[in-house]
Amino acid sequence: MRGRSFQSGAFMAMASIANPDLTGFAGISLATVTIAVLLLVICEVRYPAIRGCSSRASRWPANLGLGLINLAVASVMPVSGVLAAKWAGENGVGVLNILEIQTSLAIATAILMRSLVDYARHRAMHEISWLWRFHRVHHSDEVVDVSTAARIHWGELAVSAVISAVGMIFIGAPVLAIIIYDGLDAAFGAFQHSNIRLPRVTEMALRPLIMTPELHRVHHSVRCIETNTNFGGLFSFWDRLFATYRSPAKMGVRNFGLQERRGNTTCSLRRLLMDPLTD
């Protein structure tokens, strides 16, 4: 942002805690994400997709440092998809609120549309130069593991929150749908970035619907032709629909990061925070 997002889902859920009516749902969402991350870290150690990537000591402080900064920013941010959806519902604004369709159908539709907004946002981060300045912080990681999901510049978080808010007001998404999606997006964002190897049968069964770790590693390839593919956060079918889907080569992707940003600079929290201001 998912990069999906864990990238934004956990941070958006954090923003909703400020509202007492949403605290329970947001708490469940954050607890789910926390458990998922811990399990994925264990799986990375036991079932790594790429062996010999033991660079946690040099990379994780910066990656997790960005994550903690984003949690702090999200907790005081006045805008989020959840808060926008709440405002839209209270004021009868947005397509789904105007149509007044059945609640379960509205939730399912909103989750689907929220994922489309996320796809469009992610693609824009790659295609619009000033947005790429923020998003390249995520892509400069030379190893992809569960910590990469937290490697998001706070500027990208802020832009993503505004885009999400505008999209949710237009859709008229139910609040519960956005909390569900953001929780899933955060958990699956950590899953997609994890350095784990799925059984081949499982991998192939999930690909038509879900953006698996192997598919998302293509998106983090050092090769631009691969980086600009597989934008989907939770679902993979948007990439198929908009012709940005790319299957990994037989041996998978092994080289990650950006050609123009290599070495120790990609592990410095200070430099990552300043990166959007540099050429």
Mean pLDDT, residues 169-175 taken together: 94
Task: Tell whether the model's pLDDT for residue 2 goes beyond 50.
Answer: no
Q: Is the pLDDT of residue 100 over 70?
A: yes
pLDDT value for 254:
77
**By the 8 A CB rule, do 76 and 227 touch?**
no
Q: Distance between CA atoms of 118 and 99, rounded to whole angstroms?
A: 23
Under DSSP, the state recorded for 52 is S
The confidence score (pLDDT) of residue 150 equals: 92
Question: Is the Cβ–Cβ distance between 23 and 159 less than 8 Å?
Answer: no
Higher-confidence residue of 80 and 17: namely 80
Q: Is 100 exposed, middle or buried (0-12, 13-18, 19+ CB in 10 A)?
A: exposed
Structure tokens at 140: 């400069």
Predicted TM-score (pTM) of the model is 0.86
Over the stretch 123-137, which tens digit does the pLDDT of each residue have?
A: 999 999 999 999 999
Average pLDDT, the chain: 86
Express each pLDDT in 76-88 by its tens digit. 888 788 889 989 9
The number of residues making up the chain comes to: 279
- Distance, in Å, from the CA atom of 34 to the CA atom of 128, rounded to the nearest integer, reads 32
pLDDT recorded at residue 1: 41
**Average pLDDT for 202-230:** 94
Report whether 193 contacts 213 (CB < 8 A): yes
Per-residue pLDDT band at 12 (split at 50, 70, 90): low
Q: Are 257 and 266 in contact (CB under 8 A)?
A: yes
Confidence at residue 4, expressed as pLDDT on a 0 to 100 scale: 46
Q: How far apart are CA 210 and CA 42, in angstroms?
A: 22
Burial state string for 200-238 with b = 16 or more CB within 10 A and e = fewer than 16: eeebeebbeebbbbbbbbbbbbbeeebbebbbbbbbbbb
Say which range, 77-86, 114-123, 141-150, has the weakest mean pLDDT: 77-86
User: How many Å is the maximal CA-CA distance in the chain?
Assistant: 54
